[in-house]
Structure 1
Amino acid sequence: MITKVELQAPARDLETLKVAVESGADAVYIGGESFGMKTSSKDFTKEEIIEGVNFAHERGKKVYVSITLLPHNQDFIGLENYLKELEEAKVDALIISEPGVLETIKKVVPNMKLHLGTLANVNNYATANFWYDQGIRRVVVSREISLKEIEGIKAKTPFDMEIEVFVHGGMCMSYSGRKLLTSYIATRDINLYSEEKKYNLVEEKRPGEYCPVYEDEGGTFFFSSKDLCMIEFIPRLIKAGITSLTIEGRKKDSDYVKTVVKAYRKVIDSFYENPESYTFDKSIMKEIIKSNHREYTTGFYLDETKVYDEEYFEKL
């Protein structure tokens, strides 16, 4: 039996949340004003969270709040009150990434449903089972693992452990430490990271494709040269027993969210309507490309990575 998959969308503000729900998302994930990774997204006030949750619930949809901060000691100040506010707002789940926050949640709001975010780097079934024993009932698996590995995780975890994967958008993969390059480059140059010195990553089998490396006071950042797009392979993801298909992009505007959510909604519904004879409609890619100017790839999911480049779109 094929489980009905959830389509989850990002929302950077209340307007985008409403657009995501009206465009066909089953769930929306948001960030509050505190306790989330620092991004340029606006984040929701207490009042906006309440309004957003009510809007979604009236339409049978869910709202998840991301508490993905990897905290230092001072970051726990105010966390307990914030958790109580989220419980009062009746959010459907919290997305967390580390055990300190988990222990606080267990103490303050023990009945809250919990999802383990991608920053926790779940790469295998043993790690998933560890978090299950801690009370986690959904894990967002790492983008670095293949579909076959995800199937292996699903096969060796409890039936009620839900698996969530990212299917579209930027491929953020790690939370890196400072001075990452220093351990690889033998130098005493104090200006290693100055404006005069710039570094790029080049993958061995793709010479000529450069991914810039940046570093600031928050750490080291690798910017992906292509965005993830698995819309063509939705049936394979569904058949693997995945619970939730998630679109990345909490910094994206409402137009982007509307376009991408509608495209994935159409594909998911078309597959469920007639799974035996379903075929992918390539014209949907014309809509997808309108939302973004970067090339797309299937990332690590498949045995052979597929790239949707300019040549692909010219043939549509």
Structure 2
Amino acid sequence: MSATTPEPASRPEILAPAGDTPSFLAALAAGADALYVGLKHFSARMEAENFGTGELARLTDLAHEAGSRVYVAMNTLVKPGECGAAWRLIARLAARVRPDGLIIQDPGLLDLARQAGFAGGLFLSTLANVTHPLALREAKKLGADRVILPRELSIDEIRAMGAACPEGLDLECFVQGALCYCVSGRCYWSSYMGGKSGLRGRCVQPCRRIYQQGARMAQSGRDGRRQGRRGAAPPDRHAEGRGGHGRSGRFFSCRDLELGPLVKTLLDVPHLASWKIEGRKKGPHYVYHTVTAYRLLRDDPGDPAARRAAADILAMALGRPGGKARFLPQSPEETAAPDSQTSSGLLAGKIRIAPDGGCELKPHFELLPGDYLRVGVEDERWHATVPVTRRVPKAGTLRLRLARHATPRAGTPVFLIDRREPELLRLLADWRGRLDARNAPSAQDTVPTGAPRFPRAIRPHPRPDMLLTATRPRGRAREDGAASAPGRGGRAPGRRSLPALWLSPRTAELSRTMVARIAWWLPPVVWPEEEDALARMLGRLWRQGARHFVCNAPWQRALFPDRLPEDADLLAGPFCNTANAAALGVLAGQGFAGAFASPELARDDALALPAQSPLPLGAVLSGFWPVGLSRFSLAGIRPNEPFAGPKGEVFWARRYGGTLWIYPAWPLDLSEQRRELADAGYSFFVRMEETPPASLPELRRQGLFNWNGALL
């Protein structure tokens, strides 16, 4: 191996999920090298049971005794008033729990964690959206010790990330578990539909629901307008195949990622230190089986018997149907399965309606006391989880106690989602005994007092300074009433206009006389295969005098010179999801001259942020803000045509480069709030304009995002 080629990781750890104590103990019983857990706050899996610090301290000591590491996920967006609470929680973790690492999404926590005295590793979550090789350099510069790679990467792209990874930075990749249709950190779908944000760990999984496109959707849209102009009526999920009247299905519901024996190809990737199993909402059965399988595949990669055993174990892990997604670049798989169920669990049978109207199940296999069953899928009104209280032999009869108001139809599938086999129960009882024998940790270090430090806030500008207008080659994204931040040389803010363009091979070919007078918007996601072309375009524009750029991820700062000239005017764009003073301090330290606040913020949070900011702030004022961005293909949905959700919501999708943008039919419009935002201190605004499909139904819904609601 040449001196310039990085060494491969010695042996990647098997990193197990643990959403509760039984799953934590199952991971230890299976021999996991590391576990990741969430707390009651600041976790991107808020629907998991999660842990308190006292309980987690005992569990962490037990894990360390067993030779396993513990990582705590604090991977949520931090709102303006939450920095102090996050700092205090990290300080308690550092003093009382002493985990080996923190998994974070918000770059502000890189600074807060060190201020709080945390000495372990700082790992950037896949929600942080570190997606291309140069971004790794910026992540390392800002203090990250590990980057968790996107689930959309191929093996070739993972290798490229490993080869580009700077010394002192580790990589982690997913090998098993749920896939989101939208890119992590670039999904606002759940938040747009009611404030339950995936960036805050509260996603209600709208991508798992049934959607419809075609003639029936258009008819239901007309019906909806006649009923009060509220949009389309709920789709007919049985419309497919009825003489071309449209099609319905779970077009965005993905199968699980399951690399299985293909993980052998990851063993020699430089800096790849961790194989991650997703599933903090899964039970101990899933955790034990997946950890066992991937230990076999890592430790005996050349043994056919080990591969067969691992495949058998994964088949019984009770996850969703699995696939390889984009891992194999020559043969990427369709991740969504519109015509089949993609909920977790093993099909146990189907509902039978007894003569007295009750529900019965004749299972395809033996059911054990303690097993858990799921009736139907999550978006059906009769969806329920049911514990099994007695042994039921194969083809025996199990009477299901279900709510009368939600009785399922005959033929509704029932899935086994968690299993309590006697051997696993014995193992868990043994580990529970070892845990119960432990006292609370004796070393109760003093938790630091005080508060986190932030860069000094600037005095907010009382009025917008600048008008920007951003366009695409097709469809416009106009930045209106937007004020550029004062330049690095401290130039006085002047009331002026500046056009802006989304950067693409087409827009980058403008004449030299124009490029310096344009603000260039970088894409919200840059994939490894796109980085070289993007860097060449930026280099050419920079040489031609362009100095106004909007980066839509903090890590895109690495695409520009380390030392910025006085006339450089870099803004952190709205897709950076900036929402607190600590994150703004990090951006200021990177050399950004201003930043857009996260469009997800509700009114009170949005109005509070300028007074805390060390940078001039901008806001998305109006236009088509996407509900999500995806790298996966559209399976059954035609682009540039409307489709409807289960409650009549209408959407449309369009591809730009390697990324699919999914939009709601109702644009965001905070125009009436512009004066209020300006009075609070916002000094530039953006209008995100697109040319919507001509067939888009006329909708009279006001798009305020979370303004009058809450970002939960």
Structure 1 and Structure 2 fold alike (TM over 0.5): yes
- Cα distance between partner residues in 2 of 1:246 and 1:198: 39
Query: Aligned to 1:25, which of 11, 21, 32?
Result: 32
1:180-219 to 2 correspondence within 5 Å? 191-192=230-231, 196-197=234-235, 210-212=249-251
Aligned to 2:494: none
- Cα distance between partner residues in 1 of 2:184 and 2:334: 22
- Quick one: structure 1 residues 119 and 281, their matched pair in 2 at CA, closer, same or farther if it must change by over 3 Å? same
Query: Aligned to 1:305, which of 332, 335, 346?
Result: 332
The letter for the 1-side match of 2:165 is T
1:58 aligns with 2:94: no
Superposition deviation, residue 167 in structure 1: 0.4
- Cα distance between partner residues in 1 of 2:135 and 2:314: 34
Where 1:82 maps in the other structure, the secondary structure is helix
Which structure 1 residue ranges, 5 or more long, are not aligned?
200-207, 213-221, 272-276, 311-316
Query: Aligned to 2:93, which of 62, 86, 104?
Result: 86
1:137 aligns with 2:167: no
Does the 8 Å CA contact 2:121/2:145 hold for their aligned counterparts? yes
Aligned to 1:237: 266
Aligned to 2:283: 253
Does the 8 Å CA contact 2:123/2:148 hold for their aligned counterparts? yes
Higher RCO structure, 1 or 2 (CA under 8 Å, sep 6+): 1
Superposition deviation, residue 109 in structure 1: 2.1
- Quick one: structure 1 residues 70 and 193, their matched pair in 2 at CA, closer, same or farther if it must change by over 3 Å? farther
The letter for the 2-side match of 1:125 is P
Aligned to 1:111: 119
1:264 aligns with 2:294: yes
- Quick one: structure 1 residues 254 and 156, their matched pair in 2 at CA, closer, same or farther if it must change by over 3 Å? same
- Cα distance between partner residues in 1 of 2:327 and 2:62: 34
Query: Aligned to 1:150, which of 158, 161, 179?
Result: 158
The letter for the 2-side match of 1:74 is G
Q: Which moved more, 1:252-261 or 1:109-118?
A: 109-118
- Cα distance between partner residues in 2 of 1:227 and 1:38: 17
Q: Which moved more, 1:95-104 or 1:280-289?
A: 280-289
The letter for the 1-side match of 2:279 is G
What do residues 194-225 of structure 1 show as CA deviations (whole Å, max 9, x unaligned)? 6x2489xxxxxxxx99435xxxxxxxxx532x
The letter for the 1-side match of 2:314 is I
- Cα distance between partner residues in 1 of 2:296 and 2:33: 13
Aligned to 1:98: 106
Query: Aligned to 1:294, which of 295, 314, 320?
Result: 320
Superposition deviation, residue 113 in structure 1: 1.5
- Cα distance between partner residues in 2 of 1:104 and 1:198: 50
- Quick one: structure 1 residues 104 and 286, their matched pair in 2 at CA, closer, same or farther if it must change by over 3 Å? same
Where 2:308 maps in the other structure, the secondary structure is coil
Q: Which has the higher helix share?
A: 1
Where 2:82 maps in the other structure, the secondary structure is helix
1:174 aligns with 2:184: yes
Normalising by structure 1, report the TM-score.
0.81
Aligned to 1:314: none
1:68 aligns with 2:78: no
Query: Aligned to 2:130, which of 122, 128, 141?
Result: 122
The letter for the 2-side match of 1:93 is G
What do residues 223-263 of structure 1 show as CA deviations (whole Å, max 9, x unaligned)? 32x11111211210111232100000000001111111111
- Cα distance between partner residues in 2 of 1:139 and 1:239: 17
- Cα distance between partner residues in 2 of 1:234 and 1:99: 30
1:9-48 to 2 correspondence within 5 Å? 9-48=16-55
Normalising by structure 2, report the TM-score.
0.37
The letter for the 2-side match of 1:288 is L
Q: Which moved more, 1:41-50 or 1:149-158?
A: 149-158
1:161 aligns with 2:169: yes
What do residues 117-161 of structure 1 show as CA deviations (whole Å, max 9, x unaligned)? 010112111111111001111100111121111111111121321
Does the 8 Å CA contact 1:234/1:268 hold for their aligned counterparts? yes
Q: Which moved more, 1:55-64 or 1:277-286?
A: 277-286
Does the 8 Å CA contact 1:116/1:139 hold for their aligned counterparts? yes
- Quick one: structure 1 residues 112 and 286, their matched pair in 2 at CA, closer, same or farther if it must change by over 3 Å? closer
Identity %: 27
Q: Which moved more, 1:151-160 or 1:163-172?
A: 151-160
Which structure 2 residue ranges, 5 or more long, are not aligned?
1-6, 194-205, 208-216, 238-246, 341-712
The letter for the 2-side match of 1:47 is G
- Cα distance between partner residues in 2 of 1:193 and 1:66: 39
- Quick one: structure 1 residues 293 and 235, their matched pair in 2 at CA, closer, same or farther if it must change by over 3 Å? closer
Aligned to 2:437: none
Superposition deviation, residue 111 in structure 1: 2.6
Aligned pair count reads 284
- Cα distance between partner residues in 2 of 1:268 and 1:128: 26
- Cα distance between partner residues in 2 of 1:116 and 1:138: 6
Aligned to 1:202: none
- Cα distance between partner residues in 1 of 2:319 and 2:166: 40
What do residues 165-218 of structure 1 show as CA deviations (whole Å, max 9, x unaligned)? 00001013324222699xxx9989664486x2489xxxxxxxx99435xxxxxx
What do residues 263-312 of structure 1 show as CA deviations (whole Å, max 9, x unaligned)? 111121113xxxxx5446234322211122632111111121368999xx
Where 1:74 maps in the other structure, the secondary structure is coil
Aligned to 2:428: none
- Cα distance between partner residues in 2 of 1:108 and 1:257: 32
- Cα distance between partner residues in 1 of 2:143 and 2:319: 40
